[in-house]
Amino acid sequence: MFDILIKGGSVVDGEGGTPYRADVALKDGRIAQIAPSITGEARRVVDANGAVVAPGFIDPHTHFDVQLLWDGAARPALEHGITTVVPGNCSLSLAPLKAADRPAVVGMFQQIEEMPPEAFTQAFEWTWEDFAGYRDALTPKLSVNVAPLVGHSVIRLWVMGAASQERAATVDEIRAMQDLLRECLADGAIGLSTSYVDVDAKGRPVPSRFAEFDELDALCAVLGEGGRMLQVVPEFYDTDITIARVDQLAGLSVAHGIPTTFSPLFDSRLTPHNVDRVMARVEAQFARGARVWPQMQTRPIDISFSLRRPSLFFARLPTWVRTLRLPMAERLAALQDPATVEKLVAAASADGGATLRMMADLRVRGGGEAPAHLVGLTLGEIAAERGQDTATALISVSVEHDLDVAFVAASRGHDDTDRIGPMLAHPLMHIGASDGGAHLNSFATYGDTGYLFSEFVRNSGAMTLQSAVKKITADTADIWGLKDRGRLKPGMAGDVVVFDPMTIARGDERPAFDMPGDGMRYVRDAIGIRAVMVNGEMAWTSAGYTDAHAGRICEAA
């Protein structure tokens, strides 16, 4: 008897093959059979008529390290069809970590991922120091598969203590880091992450940024013993430095026989040659045998701001900048002063109405003090209802709620579908960089896979259905060396997603108060997903999450 029998769906195998109608049977955690008509009995039958049956999606850039300790489904990632996540990116992981060093790393997670402090004090018992202990703490609760990276910053912190944020390592310290990395890889880490960008809670560079090249080279030598991944956050804000990092990663890749990946890589109309230049160098380095995979996200970038903090959003309006730079009490008083408001509105109106029209498209976000009845409305709608211009509406809504109302200017970067579609489809472009589980108070990092299908398959046709599936399943598994993942073939892991190709999408961004301590984050619900199976067990259906905890720590191929 099969555990699950998926009947009548259109099978997309993950390898780019043409979809074909077939039944799929799962048994003992694996794909047991795929055939035009399977008649055997099953404990559970899934009707997939009109739906696609595909390998579970793999998200290669997440920060679910902490959340997985109380939520083994990495909600809402799993309901979007994600069956495997890679946490531990950007040089940060929760192991190996000495008890005495926990506050320092908690500060980094709070700074970089916007994780509330209660997440570290209320949601789990901190029982481990080494990587094996962290792995064991995760494993019983997992509903998704996890391929964890170990962070360079925490390895450095373990070996060097406070000096990890002060100086280069000695030869002996580098050797100790090599031994520690080797141990972490043996205990389940899929690779190493490092960062040239991130800062801690005090604004200091994270430990990995104090490493000299010899240190990274030595660590990559250890990765080379098993052909494991190096993930890097380069200085992505500068094209020339990013290209230099591509060359550096290529050198490490060739020297040690390892794959490398860097993220993020963005497109912008203002820097229209950024991606082309970086990809030209990536192509050149692949041609000489290096593996340097750029990661690009599918979703556009929004700009969020409130009047509580100065934002460059108003950088073309000097009157606004000067007012919003005032200390909080003075700023609030100024924004309640009719004469000041008149000047601000006049400044916003001085360009013939362009700024006021731009403001009309700003949307009220949830969270903070934003009243529920305004959430989701545009300033244009609010202004019309109040009989105000949009600048006055922005100020009055903010003042009425202690300035703690966030507004979002949607799709202000990485938003040109006609440009980005071909970039995502490029054979050397790795689709990822979702940052799932991070930036909790800033924007939702979920639903990028749904957006891939809705925008780049259905709306623009930049990719076929099967090529989009391949990008986030078999390609990802191959890039990362994940054993038995990413393909819908007999014998492979029973990670399966059933979705409607005509409706799959991401839902609207909404606030959720489901973090420890009633902390807020932004999430997106899934659209068009019918069922998600992990290692042969039903993990999610349209009725919700199941009690299954079939997720595992992934094995390297």
Q: Is 236 one of the binding residues for another protein (CB under 8 A)? A: yes
How far is the C-alpha of 196 from the C-alpha of 86, rounded, in Å? 19
Q: Is 412 one of the binding residues for another protein (CB under 8 A)? A: yes
Are the beta carbons of 393 and 363 closer than 8 angstroms? Answer: no
Judged by CB, which is closer to another protein: 407, or 480? 407
Judged by CB, which is closer to another protein: 111, or 378? 111
Question: What minimum distance in Å lies between the beta carbon of 87 and another protein?
Answer: 18
Judged by CB, which is closer to another protein: 131, or 266? 266
Judged by CB, which is closer to another protein: 259, or 511? 511
How far is the C-alpha of 96 from the C-alpha of 113, rounded, in Å? 19
Judged by CB, which is closer to another protein: 2, or 320? 320
Stretch binding another protein (CB under 8 A), from 119-127, 304-312, 387-395, 496-504:
304-312
In 3D space, the residue among 66, 41, 67, 78 whose CA is nearest the CA of residue 540 turns out to be 78
Q: What dihedral angle (degrees, nearest 10) is formed by the CA atoms of 60, 65, 69, 73?
A: -20
- Radius of gyration in angstroms for the set of CA atoms belonging to the chain, rounded to a whole number: 24
Q: Is 254 one of the binding residues for another protein (CB under 8 A)? A: no
Separation in Å, CA 521 to CA 100, 465, 499:
29, 31, 26
Cis peptide before 264 (omega within 30 of 0): yes
Residue in 43, 175, 202, 316 binding another protein, rule: CB under 8 A: 316
Q: Where are the alpha helices (DSSP H) in 91-210?
A: 102-113, 118-121, 131-138, 152-160, 171-186
Question: What minimum distance in Å lies between the beta carbon of 448 and another protein?
Answer: 14
Q: Is 304 one of the binding residues for another protein (CB under 8 A)? A: yes
How far is the C-alpha of 234 from the C-alpha of 291, rounded, in Å? 16
Element (H, E) at 360: helix 354-360
Q: Is 8 one of the binding residues for another protein (CB under 8 A)? A: no
Question: What minimum distance in Å lies between the beta carbon of 349 and another protein?
Answer: 16
Q: Is 443 one of the binding residues for another protein (CB under 8 A)? A: yes
In 3D space, the residue among 502, 444, 490, 452 whose CA is nearest the CA of residue 472 turns out to be 452
Residue in 98, 343, 439, 489 binding another protein, rule: CB under 8 A: 439
What order do you get walking across the sheet with 301-305 strand by strand? 301-305, 407-413, 363-364
How far is the C-alpha of 121 from the C-alpha of 517, rounded, in Å? 10
Q: Is 239 one of the binding residues for another protein (CB under 8 A)? A: yes
Size of the site for another protein (CB under 8 A): 34
Residue in 322, 401, 426, 458 binding another protein, rule: CB under 8 A: 322
Question: What minimum distance in Å lies between the beta carbon of 304 and another protein?
Answer: 5
Q: Is 311 one of the binding residues for another protein (CB under 8 A)? A: yes
Q: Is 419 one of the binding residues for another protein (CB under 8 A)? A: no
Tokens of residue 422, six digits: 């071909």
Q: Is 377 one of the binding residues for another protein (CB under 8 A)? A: no
Q: Is 446 one of the binding residues for another protein (CB under 8 A)? A: no
Kindly state the DSSP code that residue 205 receives in the 8-state scheme: B
Stretch binding another protein (CB under 8 A), from 82-90, 175-183, 287-295, 412-420:
412-420
Parallel, antiparallel, or unpaired for β 145-146 and 42-47?
A: unpaired
Q: Is 132 one of the binding residues for another protein (CB under 8 A)? A: no
Residues near another protein, by CB under 8 A: 236-240, 264, 266, 268, 270-271, 274, 301-305, 310-313, 315-318, 321-322, 325, 409, 412-414, 439, 442-443
